A and B are shown apart, each in its own frame.
Chain A
């Protein structure tokens, strides 16, 4: 079946560091991928829609310059958290699919010290 892979699974870094998270579709091509953020014991909040070959579409309230998204190929989207601070610590999850339902990666736990 369709599989979505995220890397890394966990990142711990100092405040001010920029962190890149990768989302790959392993056995299908994805023109669109989605990035979510999830706080402990909370639901998934859509951050942005990543579009292959064009600019990402950000949800209201999500800082474009803070969360840079690049979707340069049909199998890879990256989310870069720029100049990360402790408040950016969270669980970041991507999803993609040829059709519904979307398949999700296993998430990236980001901890900013």
Chain B
């Protein structure tokens, strides 16, 4: 069936290093992708998104890359900080409107070593 999944369950990085979090999706019809950050006991917080007509989008310290050929999505965090420690989820959307649902990946825990 269609699914959105992550390659690694945990990622440990040194403070100051760059982090790369990967996500695979299987639905070629998906046209919108989002990365969320979830801290303990809180709801997901939007980080960055990208539409399928783009292959790269940059934000503040974060970059999302989309490779439609291999159905792969990645989140790059530059100069990782202790405050970046959280669980990260990728999500995909099929129809694109606010009334259409998201499908979440399994999540990866990012742990930043001081």
Contact = CB atoms under 8 A, between A and B. Distances in A.
Q: Which applies to chain B's interface (DSSP): helix, strand, loop or mixed?
A: loop
B24 to A, nearest CB: 14
A104 B49 CA distance: 15
Contacts of A107: 41-43
A34 interface: yes
Nearest to B39: A106
Contact of B101 (A4, A34, A103, A104): A34
Interface size class of B (residues with CB under 8 A): 20 to 34
Interface in B34-48: 34, 36, 41-46
Interface residues of A, number: 28
Interface-central residue, B32, B44, B49, B104, by most chain A CB under 10 Å: B44
Given A44-B104, A46-B101, A104 B43 contact: yes
Interface in A33-63: 34, 41-46, 49
B107 A93 contact: no
Which of B98, B103, B104: most chain A Cβ within 10 A?
B98
A43 B101 contact: no
Given A49-B101, A101-B49, 4 more contacts: A32-B98, A44-B44, A100-B93, A106-B42
List 6 tightest A-B contacts by C-beta distance, closest first: A104-B43, A32-B99, A44-B104, A43-B104, A106-B43, A104-B44
Interface of A: 4, 6, 30-32, 34, 41-46, 49, 93, 95-107, 109
Interface of B: 32, 34, 36, 41-46, 49, 89, 93, 96-107
23 contacts: A6-B43, A30-B98, A32-B98, A34-B101, A43-B105, A43-B106, A46-B101, A46-B102, A46-B103, A93-B43, A95-B43, A95-B44, A97-B98, A100-B32, A100-B34, A100-B49, A100-B93, A100-B96, A100-B98, A101-B49, A105-B43, A106-B43, A109-B41
